[in-house]
Amino acid sequence: MEKVVQTTLPADTYTRLSERAKKEGKSLKAVVQDAIEAFLAQDLPAWEDDPIQGLIGSAPGLMQAGPPRKPWTRDVIGKHRRKMDSWSARKKKGDG
């Protein structure tokens, strides 16, 4: 059973695919399907084998360079809400 998939392509990608389809004597649909199948057939390395994984945690303390954040409490939220309310009230007075 086939499933229908729609996508948007950049104009240059569409042009290249169309040219390839014409060159190979295939439909655009067939060229796109072949490209997807070729991509899926590749043996992709597992994440564990990715060299970038070795960098994770290699610079301890790097992410803690900034000052610690204070947790948001009801008191802090109320203070900011009051500021916003007073600003809104001034804005309404000036609108009239």
Residue 27 lies in a domain: yes
pLDDT band at 49 (very low <50, low <70, confident <90, very high): confident
**Identity of the amino acid at 41:** A
Domain annotation covers residue 85:
no
Structure tokens belonging to residue 46: 């597992």
- Would 84 be classed as within a structural domain? no
Please give the share of the chain, as a percent, with pLDDT higher than 90.
34
Domain that holds residue 21: 1-43
* Domain of residue 16, CATH code: 1.10.1220
**Residue among 45, 44, 23 at smallest CA distance from 34:** 23
Nearest CA among 25, 33, 24 for reference residue 4 = 33
Domain count, the chain: 1
DSSP 16-81: HHHHHHHHHT--HHHHHHHHHHHHHHS-PPPGGG-GGGGGTTSSTTGGG-SPPPPPP-HHHHHHHH
Which of 26-30, 43-47, 63-67, 74-78 has the highest average model confidence (pLDDT)?
Answer: 26-30
Q: Judge whether 91 lies within some domain.
A: no
The answer to whether the pTM exceeds 0.85 is no
Residue 17 lies in a domain: yes
Q: Is residue 57 part of a domain?
A: no
In a domain, 30, yes or no: yes
Please say whether the beta carbons of 31 and 24 come within 8 A: yes
Whether 62 maps to a domain, the answer reads no
